[in-house]
């Protein structure tokens, strides 16, 4: 994990896969941004966005999403970046 002051958040980096995602706390939400989110499997449809590359998970309250869904996205991001 690395703080990104210019981003107003922090990023997660995998030793082999590189940058995986960023966490951006806001006043009422927390956004988990996946740089290559458009290419990740999202069976629970929790990713938002329409760009050709990035997608976000926006969390409005604690416990909103099961941890296993977030973990699956992080694992998929690592697998995608290593491929």
The DSSP letter of residue 48 is B
- pLDDT on residue 11: 85
Task: Kindly state the greatest CA–CA separation across the chain.
Answer: 36
Q: Which of 3-12, 14-23, 47-56, 70-79 has the lowest mean pLDDT?
A: 3-12
> What's residue 42's pLDDT?
94
Residue 5 has pLDDT above 90, yes or no: no
Report the pLDDT value the prediction gives residue 18, as an integer from 0 to 100: 81
For residue 59, give both structure tokens: 């969390």
pLDDT digits (tens, 9 = 90+) for 52-70: 999 999 999 988 888 899 9
Considering only CA atoms, give the Rg of the chain. Answer: 12
pTM of the model: 0.84
Per the CB < 8 A criterion, the answer to whether 57 and 29 are in contact is no
């Amino acid at each position: 994990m690395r703080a990104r002051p210019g981003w107003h958040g922090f990023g997660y980096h995998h030793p082999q896969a590189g940058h995986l995602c960023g966490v951006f706390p806001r006043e009422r939400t927390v956004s988990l941004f996946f740089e290559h989110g458009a290419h990740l499997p999202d069976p629970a449809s929790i990713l938002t966005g329409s760009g050709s590359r990035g997608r976000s998970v926006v969390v409005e309250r604690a416990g909103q999403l099961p941890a296993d869904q977030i973990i699956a996205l992080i694992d998929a991001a690592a697998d995608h970046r290593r491929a």
